[in-house]
Structure 1
Amino acid sequence: MSQQSSTVAPELSPQFCFNERVLRDFLRLSRSAIDDSITQNLNALITPAQAGFDPSSTAVRLTDARVKKTIEPAACQSFKDNVLFPSWQTRSDVLNYCAGVATSPDPEDPDLILRETESAKDRERVVDERLDPYSARFFPREARTESLAYLIRNERSVEQIIRARTWSLVTERCGDRSGDWEEALNRWREKKGQRSL
């Protein structure tokens, strides 16, 4: 399956995390390759001529959504073990790493001196709200670690929603009732010796 490339982790560095566009692009591309196209990925697992070709099968067009073929359990397990879970783990690793960067001190913050200067000026400012009622408003610049932490929180929420949706389709098509996605992913991690989100 060509989706193997979506599980390749980017080179993790603080610069990668602070470049929010690159971080979002990685997550978007990984999700689109696996989760957004989960129906197509699962359909690709079905072997169409497994029982041989039946000429009468072309006489009637089946448009009923309930008529879905169950995928072979071995093909489903292989897809989950080799494509789905590695992709999820890669995204978890990136989000965990960037969450660590967001909670660490950032001595290379380019706006640090500017924020400290603005803060000092704000403390020295005398405000007469009778003359200018809006002068008391001060919007300090947000540190890039705070911005990154906010982004990571949002992306983790998105990840939870996407994984739940994907897992419901996987369990429906594979006939697998082995629990929710978190349990299945944790079992896979235990087999592989990975850590969780």
Structure 2
Amino acid sequence: MSQASSTEVPALTPQFCFDERLLRDFLRISRSTIDDSISQNLNALMTPAREGFDPASTATRQTDTRAQKPIEPNACQGFKDNVLFPSWQTRSDVLNYCAGVATSPDPEDPDLILRETESARDRERVVNERLDPYSARFFPREARTESLANLVRNQRTVEEIIRSRTWGMVTERCGGSSASWEDDLNTWRQNHRR
């Protein structure tokens, strides 16, 4: 049986976080490997050959997932412990690290001097809206820490949605857990301290 595996933890550096394309790509690949293909990952846990093959099972298309037999509890727990939760934890670690970078001073910001110059020019500017109604419009450049903070905030929202959807599939196929994904993940974290 081949199980999906999470993406490797990237080297966490401020440069990694400020390269928003790289950060987004890491999150996208990690999500596509585990969460976006959750049905296939859960199907891989099924071992139908043990009960023997029923040729009649291929006569009609099975679209109702409730009609499927639940996956063996040990296989589900193994998937959650060894694949799903480590993947979620890795993404949480990356987002937490990058959130820290976004709230730290950024002395290496390449646009810092340009923004300060624009800000000084903006304070000295005389605006006569009667002559030019558009002259009051000024869009200051966003610091890269602000841009990163917005990206992290958006990605955390996406992560919440994806985890809720994935958890719904897992509980449906694995015989329903009464705990929320947050509770189960926190329990896993307590049992698997690195």
TM-score when normalising by structure 1: 0.93
Counterpart of 1:174 in structure 2 is 174
Displacement of 1:73 in angstroms is: 0.1
The aligned amino acid for 1:38 is: I
Q: Once the 2 structures are TM-superposed, how far is the Cα of residue 67 of structure 1 from its aligned partner?
A: 1.9
Contact 1:111–1:143 under 8 Å retained in 2: yes
TM-score by length of 2: 0.94
Q: Distance in 1 between matches of 2:118 and 2:54?
A: 76
Q: Does residue 34 of structure 1 match 2:34?
A: yes
Structure 1 counterpart of 2:4: 3
Q: Aligned partner of 1:23: which letter?
A: L
Q: Is the 8 A contact 2:30 2:87 kept in 1?
A: yes
Is the CA contact 1:7–1:86 (under 8 Å) kept in the aligned structure 2? Answer: no
- 1:64 and 1:119 map into 2 onto residues whose CA distance is 60
- Counterpart of 1:183 in structure 2 is 183
Describe the shift of the 1:112–1:51 C-alpha distance in structure 2 as closer, same or farther (beyond 3 A).
same
Q: Could you tell me how far apart the structure 1 residues matched to 2:22 and 2:114 are? A: 25
Deviation at 1:51, TM superposition (A): 1.8
Unaligned runs of 5+ in 1: none
Amino acid at match of 2:25: D
Superposed CA deviations along residues 93-145 of structure 1, whole A, max 9, x for unmatched, are: 00000000000000000000000000011111111121111111111100000
SS at match of 2:9: coil
Is 1:61 equivalent to 2:52 in the alignment?
Answer: no
Please state how far the C-alpha of 1:37 moved relative to its aligned partner.
Answer: 0.2
Instruction: Write the deviation string for residues 146-177 of structure 1: whole angstroms up to 9, x where unpaired.
Output: 00000000000000000000000000000032
Identity %: 74
Q: Distance in 2 between matches of 1:53 and 1:142?
A: 61
Which residues of 2 match residues 120-139 of structure 1 at below 5 A? 120-139=120-139
What is the CA distance between 1:53 and its match in structure 2?
3.4
Q: In the aligned structure 2, how far is the partner of 1:56 from the partner of 1:142?
A: 62
Name 1:104's counterpart in structure 2. Answer: 104
- Alignment partner of 1:109: what SS? coil
Unaligned runs of 5+ in 2: none
Q: 1:71·1:174 contact (CA, 8 Å) conserved in 2?
A: yes
Does 1:151 find its partner at 2:157? Answer: no
Give the Cα–Cα distance (whole angstroms) in 1 for the partners of residues 138 and 92 of structure 2: 37
Given that 2:103 and 2:149 are in contact with CA atoms closer than 8 Å, whether structure 1 keeps it comes out as yes
Whether the 8 Å CA contact 1:7–1:83 is kept in 2: the answer is: no
Letter of the 2:187 counterpart:
R
The aligned amino acid for 2:62 is T
Count of matched residue positions in the alignment of Structure 1 and Structure 2: 192
Q: Which letter maps to 1:3? A: A
SS in 1 for 2:164: helix
**Matches of 2:176 and 2:155 in 1, distance apart?**
27
| Equivalent residue number for residue 50 of structure 1 | 50
Q: What's the counterpart of residue 140 of structure 1? A: 140
Any runs of at least 4 consecutive aligned residues in structure 1 with deviations exceeding 2 A, and if so which? 1-4, 52-58, 60-64
Offset of residue 57 of structure 1 = 4.3
Find the counterpart in structure 2 of residue 73 from structure 1: 73
Change beyond 3 A, Cα 1:106–1:75: same
